[in-house]
Amino acid sequence: MSTTPLEINTPLDGATTSSRASGNPLSSTQITDYDHRQTVGKITVDNPKMTCRGVNVYYGAKQALKNVSLDIGANEVIAFIGPSGCGKSTFLRCLNRMNDTIPGCRVAGEIRLDQEDIYDRSLDVVQLRARVGMVFQKPNPFPKSIYENVAYGPRIHGMVQNKAELDALVIASLERAGLLKEVEKRLEEPGTGLSGGQQQRLCIARAIAVNPEVILMDEPCSALDPIATAKIEELIDELRENYTIVIVTHSMQQAARVSQRTAYFHLGDLIEIGETDQIFTNPRHKLTEDYITGRFG
Amino acid sequence: MSFYLFLTLLLLSSGCYYLGRRRAFTVAGDHVRNLHSLPSYYGAYTALWCGLPALLVFAAWTALQPSIILELVTNALPPELRTLPPGRLDLVLNDIKNLVNGNIVSSAPDPAILAAADHYRNLQLIGNAALWIAVMSLAIAGAAHAWRAISPKLRARNRVEQVVNLFLVISSTIAIFTTVGIILSVLFESILFFGKVPISDFLLGLQWSPQTALRADQAGSSGAFGAVPLFAGTLLISGIAMLVAVPIGLMSALYLSEYATPKFRATAKPALEVLAGIPTVVYGFFAALTVAPLLRDIGTALGLQVASESALAAGLVMGIMIIPFVSSLSDDVINAVPQSMRDGSYALGATKSETIKRVLLPAALPGIVGSILLAVSRAIGETMIVVMAAGLSANLTANPLQAVTTVTVQIVTLLTGDQEFDSAKTLAAFALGMVLFVVTLILNIIALHVVRKYREQYE
């Protein structure tokens, strides 16, 4: 991989860019050249949990993601936004190698979790996924009981010695996912019988039961009503204490509410990344501004 | 004769289609949008009015004409022939019919019969001419009626669709009524059988030897109708078949749906399904001529007594035959488990085998059970392989190396060849068929029920 400059503010043929990095949120200068596709903003953080450098993803001959580099800080919530097909979900799925399950998908570049290359041959993808959990767009509880849904992960990873420990872990996970009060009395009922929002929180409980370090959320609220969405957002905020959370969302309000940093993707390029406040109040790339002001997307 | 009438009617009504359609354009003037229905519906409406009533009359006429003519001819016969006993009279009438059709007659015909044949011929000519006239005038009258009825307000589409709807209803009920008819006929014959042989003897008897004596002093005709050996044989062979088919079918389904590359699956699955397309008689001689001798040789080498027609040979080959039932259906239900279930499991760090064992198989289990039950009912009803490979001797044994016989095989042997249809021997076939029917019906109902339950889970 070619070395990617950690901070890209190179002015391109007359395009005005801010002369400093993300230091000046009130900077009025903006990249107005729509063809400028190098990432604007500071991609590094002080205490990175994951570092991604020069990530390219191909579906067969089609390139879905072009040379994306960014850091994901420990215990932060980072939001990926962008119009449909921009590659944000693809990038998310690179982070726990879920793209491996898609035939014809090829990932190039370097992604490190705690300095460890997750695409290294010696790395066991099973262990990676235990450390990097995932919650999907559509709630997908297994057609098993609520209890069995949460117990699934701990069982396959042999995390508990006996039934009592498993019980405790299941209860604790449901509690942390804010679902315990609602399902306490019916742990043996099928998880598919819950409402959409409860199912999604069950999936979050299932993910945190294996005690991951990073949780990836792929539009976790897109199938939910506003009340269920509010509960999940609240939950994300609480989970930040213990986990690093990467969330893909179509809702800019949601990104603004839950995240500390935001990355804007456009047609496979990472266009801009920065503090969420700065992205939404003072975007430094015209594409970002167009998107967050609703001009397209 | 009637074929040409039919053809004419068909041509006429297709002509009416175009006439009706053109008429619709004419009445609509420049504004086809003013028509209630599309012009083609007016065409179909006219064609139906032309063809349908005429066709019904045609069918009824053709069905009734022979018996009416026969009645007339009989009445016109000279008294000495007319008063013959019914059996003889039938022969005479047969002679007349043969004369009319130009067939060979049993003896030199006497003048009265020749005259009757002429009479018959005349009546037939008159009848056919009248049929032509009636059908054609009805067709034209129907077409004219429709022609006059065509106006922009006529709801031609609704009428045509009503007729189509009626056709659909009739078609669907034909299958149902046939099933009901078969069940009833089997049921009544079984009741007759149980009048001769007590039902308890049939269901609980351990001896099957269906030869009944024609004469009292005949030897070797015990006439025992205990069906237990047959059921045991059926169970044994089906059991062996399922032992072969379920593990192989299930594992190949798992491989195809979860491990195989799409390209391999695209070729392997149809290839596997070819197994289901091989005629069972081919499996039968494969079992009888290849597998059974092989098993016997192996058995001899091991010092075992293997019958040349063994349950094992039939069961093994039958198992091979029903592999595609299990594998193809199971593959479908495993594939029907949503990808999101797999993703959910993989995202928790499950391996492929954990995902299969803990998520896919439990989720697909009802569908798999359904496919297995369908395969079982197929195995129970299978005839050709067992006829050829399992033998006819009704042994009550659990030893797969011996010859056994099955319900279906016995039905075949009871009903092939010349049989009297009121003896207990032939009626026994109906009773066996009844039991077989009930068992497969129950299995099918269970399978359908299970499959339906499965369907509810993901929709």
Q: Do A156 and B341 touch (CB under 8 A)?
A: no
Q: Do A206 and B348 touch (CB under 8 A)?
A: yes
Distance set, CA B14 to CA A53, B60, B158 (Å)? 74, 22, 20
Q: Which residues contact B276 (CB under 8 A, 6 or more apart)?
A: B321, B324, B325, B328
Please tell me the predicted confidence (pLDDT) of residue B320.
92
Cβ-based contacts of A144 with chain B (< 8 Å): 362
Residue finishing a domain among B118, B135, B154: B154
The strand pair at A269-275 and A261-266 is best described as: antiparallel
Q: Which residues contact A43 (CB under 8 A, 6 or more apart)?
A: A6, A7, A69, A70, A71, A270, A273
Same domain, B134 and B228: no
Read off the pLDDT band of B74 (50, 70, 90): confident
Tell me the CB-side half-sphere exposure of residue A29, using CA atoms within 13 A.
15
Say what the ipTM of the complex is: 0.84
| pLDDT at residue A12 greater than cutoff 50 | no
Answer whether residue B193 is part of any domain: no
Q: What is the mean pLDDT of residues A178-182?
A: 90
Answer whether residue B166 is part of any domain: no
> By C-alpha distance, which of A134, A147, A140 is closest to A223?
A140
Same domain, B126 and B262: no
Nearest CA in chain B to A138: B340
Please tell me the predicted confidence (pLDDT) of residue B425.
81
> By C-alpha distance, which of A251, A265, A244 is closest to A96?
A244
Cβ-based contacts of A152 with chain B (< 8 Å): 345, 348, 350, 358
Which percentage of chain A shows pLDDT scores above 70?
Answer: 90
CA distance A131 to B40: 67
Q: Do A98 and B345 touch (CB under 8 A)?
A: no
- The domain spans of chain A are 48-292
What tokens appear for B3 in the block?
């074929």
Superfamily of domain A48-292: P-loop containing nucleotide triphosphate hydrolases (3.40.50.300)
| pLDDT at residue B174 greater than cutoff 90 | yes
Q: What is the mean pLDDT of residues B138-149?
A: 92
Lowest mean pLDDT among B37-41, B93-97, B368-372: B93-97
Answer whether residue B428 is part of any domain: yes
| pLDDT at residue B457 greater than cutoff 70 | no
Cross-strand bridge partners of residue A190 = A145
Same domain, B399 and B264: yes
Cross-strand bridge partners of residue A68 = A55
Interface test with B, best of A101, A214, A246 (most B CBs within 10 A): A101
Supply the CATH number for residue B338's domain.
1.10.3720.10
Give the residue numbers spanning the domain of B410. 208-458
Cβ-based contacts of A143 with chain B (< 8 Å): 341, 362-363, 457-458
Answer whether residue B162 is part of any domain: no
Contacts made by residues B57-60, CB under 8 angstroms, sequence distance 24+: B57/B134, B57/B135, B57/B138, B58/B2, B58/B5, B58/B6, B58/B9, B58/B131, B58/B135
Read off the pLDDT band of B221 (50, 70, 90): low
What tokens appear for B185 in the block?
């006929």
Residue finishing a domain among B135, B154, B173: B154
Q: Do A152 and B343 touch (CB under 8 A)?
A: no
A249: how many CB neighbours lie within 10 A of its CB?
A: 25
Please tell me the predicted confidence (pLDDT) of residue B275.
82
Same domain, B214 and B143: no
Cβ-based contacts of B363 with chain A (< 8 Å): 142-143
A206: how many CB neighbours lie within 10 A of its CB?
A: 31
Cβ-based contacts of A157 with chain B (< 8 Å): 349
Residue finishing a domain among B119, B154, B189: B154
Answer whether residue B173 is part of any domain: no
Q: Structural domain tally of chain B? A: 2
The tens digit of pLDDT for each residue in B366-399 reads: 888 888 888 898 898 888 888 888 877 788 888 8
Q: Do B344 and A136 touch (CB under 8 A)?
A: yes
Indicate the angle between helix axes B361-381 and B424-458, nearest 10 degrees.
170
Q: Do B348 and A207 touch (CB under 8 A)?
A: yes
Same domain, B133 and B252: no
Indicate the angle between helix axes A196-209 and B339-347, nearest 10 degrees.
30
Q: What is the mean pLDDT of residues B136-165?
A: 91
Q: Do A210 and B349 touch (CB under 8 A)?
A: yes
